[in-house]
With several copies, the nearest count.
Chain A
């Protein structure tokens, strides 16, 4: 069904269809509409919307609800996203699936509440202390917000990781036509199939689609943010810590193929590669179409884990790589890591609350 909806509306709709049944949130421009829609719709499907006292409470409430078996989500913007960081790390450590939507606005601090940016690309990866697995998706528009919200819920439930959806004010408040699928396939987390005495909450092989227990399921599980053993209880010994770190890393790295998602428009004749993400990719691609020069193009739908190998491969032998974005060059740093030889790296940035224009990208092509 074709409908005209905003990015925030598409996000809420997808969340509901993906089976999100608990939303804990705190209003913040430009994400508020997501909460408002969830407040209206969740009770209709028997779910719960809670406006919590702040963003810390919001992330922890969804962590709690998810630990109790209910797929859960929150939505926020920069200042709230900063406040949620400790809780996101907790979700990563305890392997509780949650979806956190960050509708980016200008920052830092209160910044530019009503204008968009891509200022949180690196924060989405590094915002919390300690090394930790995290998956981040970044749509370029409304239809993709719908699709990637579905995917965020799916990945988070399957891999037991916090998944972050990075949209921005431009996308959140923009309306486009979405062809809503009549049916959405939803993955339901599996309860353990073994007896409580046999069950190991953090077993080695708990990687993808593994069953796991939730509160109230009769498995007497213990969840802690301390470093823990496979059975969930705290430890302090180096080998177990290493084992667990390894497991967490493997969850992401063993599933790279499943997680990686790029739109690639390669051109063997091109001596320039464009690497883009999110809403600014619209301008980047428009610029590509506005010139006759052969250009290779990649857009990252999965921002983290970063597709090092793919970019390395695409960039190899090119003269230049152009990275347009709406911040001070955050994506560019990552691309820089993936280059070899003497490929020239061109950063095109705009960071003033207005959208990067195709012309600005065109100038350097």
Chain B
């Protein structure tokens, strides 16, 4: 039984270490990611959805993605060049 998949819009923000993908329609504004982010990258907007407010410091630690109860924020780490 395959349900018809709905395409949810995604907002992608590029950061030095990777991309932050946010699904506003899924975000419920619980602030968990905001609270847990070690670099204060995230904040809730007036629309009570999460937004990226600090677009350079993300360390791609995944804490926001992992603790988002709504599958609304994802981190795509950039490949690190072998140095």
Contacts and interface: CB of A to CB of B under 8 A. Distances in A.
A192 B1 CA distance: 11
B7 interface: no
A219 B1 CA distance: 5
Interface in A214-239: 219-222, 231-233
B81 interface: no
A287 B1 CA distance: 44
A232 B1 CA distance: 9
B2 interface: yes
Contacts of B3: 231, 233
A200 B2 CA distance: 9
Interface string A73-85: 0000000000000
Contacts of A221: 1
A196 interface: yes
Contacts of A220: 1-2
Contacts of A180: none
Interface in B1-51: 1-3
B70 to A, nearest CB: 19
A182 interface: no
Contacts of B2: 196-197, 199, 220
A196 B1 CA distance: 5
Interface string A197-208: 101110000000
Task: Give 7 nearest A-B pairs by CB, closest first.
Answer: A197-B2, A221-B1, A196-B2, A199-B1, A231-B1, A201-B1, A220-B1
Interface of A: 196-197, 199-201, 213, 219-222, 231-233
Given A200-B1, A220-B1, 6 more contacts: A199-B1, A201-B1, A221-B1, A231-B1, A232-B1, A233-B3
17 contacts: A196-B1, A196-B2, A197-B2, A199-B1, A199-B2, A200-B1, A201-B1, A213-B1, A219-B1, A220-B1, A220-B2, A221-B1, A222-B1, A231-B1, A231-B3, A232-B1, A233-B3
